[in-house]
């Protein structure tokens, strides 16, 4: 069974630029999560989707971050404009109808 | 504010010894608990889940849960250098995980 796919794996941008990350969950997994992991910290939930609806986006900085999950499968997370403090690893995870989450390889973002 | 606390370490143990990792959580509504292993530069990998009070064993790993004390632990027996990683404790409530900062474990050959 294929795991969670993410792209790109690495991205370097300058502050105030925009960037987008893509995630394809494990086939059949209804729930998709985006996390931000800053160096030395645990992952922090940004947004949770159930199929193509948002369950929780309370920790998503909506002035600059947006996410969508069209058709209830893959998802895109966008940052516009990026700030220095957005430098982090962005992790996508998915789960079937359970609490067990499986993580993708992540996208490492460096904002200069 | 849901919080999960872990000692950041580093925790150093000699090869073959038992490594003991601990975490506490603040949300009494948390029902499920998970241990993830994260190698440097890699994403978290699920190694154990526990839902009921008591112990759960899987190979060299034993997870322990005490809901009254809001305490979760992970024991790694016969530690190997390949166990050297950061171990993340997570508490789940309403299908959302709250992670601790992780404990860095070093197993010395």
Q: What is the pLDDT of residues B29-41, one digit of tens each?
A: 999 999 999 999 9
Most B CBs within 10 A among A37, A60, A99, A103, hence the mutation to make, goes to A99
What's residue A37's pLDDT? 98
Interface A-B, measured as beta-carbon pairs within 8 A, has a size of: 51
For chain A (112 residues), the mean pLDDT of every run of 10, in chain order, is: 92 98 95 96 96 92 95 94 97 89 96 98
CB neighbours of residue A32 within 10 Å: 28
In angstroms, the CA B70 to CA B61 distance is: 20
Which among A42, A55, A102 has the least Cβ separation from residue B88?
A42
Best probe of the B interface among A53, A101, A104, A106, by most B CBs < 10 A, is: A101
Q: Calculate what percentage of chain B has a pLDDT beyond 70.
A: 100
* Chain A interface includes B24 (CB < 8 A): no
Two tokens, residue A111: 């904002």
As to burial, measured by CB atoms within 10 angstroms (0-12 exposed, 13-18 middle, 19+ buried), residue A25 is buried
**Residue B15 above 90 pLDDT?**
yes
8 A C-beta contact, residue B2 and residue B49:
no
Beta bridge partners of A110: A12
Q: What is the pLDDT of residues B36-94, one digit of tens each?
A: 999 999 999 999 999 999 999 999 999 999 999 999 999 999 999 999 999 999 999 88
Q: What is the pLDDT of residue A1?
A: 67
For the purposes of burial, counting CB atoms within 10 Å of the CB of B53, is it exposed (0-12), middle (13-18) or buried (19 or more)? exposed
Query: Which residues from chain A sit within 8 angstroms of residue B96, using beta carbons?
Result: 45, 48, 56
Per-residue confidence (pLDDT) for residue B8, from 0 to 100: 81
């Amino acid at each position: 069974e294929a795991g969670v796919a993410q792209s790109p794996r690495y991205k370097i941008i300058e502050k105030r630029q925009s960037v987008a990350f893509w995630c394809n969950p494990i086939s059949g997994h209804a729930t998709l999560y985006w996390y931000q992991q800053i160096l030395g910290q645990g992952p922090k939930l940004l947004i949770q989707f159930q199929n193509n609806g948002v369950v929780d986006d309370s920790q998503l900085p909506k002035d600059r971050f947006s996410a969508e999950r069209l058709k209830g499968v893959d998802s895109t997370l966008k940052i516009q404009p990026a700030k220095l403090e957005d430098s982090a690893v962005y992790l996508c995870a998915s789960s079937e109808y359970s609490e067990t989450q499986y993580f993708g390889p992540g996208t490492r973002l460096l904002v200069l | 504010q849901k919080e999960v606390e872990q000692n950041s370490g580093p925790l150093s143990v000699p090869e073959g010894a038992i490594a003991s990792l601990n975490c506490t959580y603040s949300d009494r509504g948390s029902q499920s608990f998970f241990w993830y292993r994260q190698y440097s530069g890699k994403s978290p990998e699920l190694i154990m889940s526990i839902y009921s009070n008591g112990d759960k064993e899987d190979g060299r790993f034993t997870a322990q849960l005490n809901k009254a004390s809001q305490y979760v632990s992970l024991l790694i027996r016969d530690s190997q250098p390949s166990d050297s990683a950061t171990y993340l404790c997570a508490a789940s409530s309403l299908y959302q995980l709250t992670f601790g900062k992780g404990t860095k474990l070093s197993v010395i050959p």
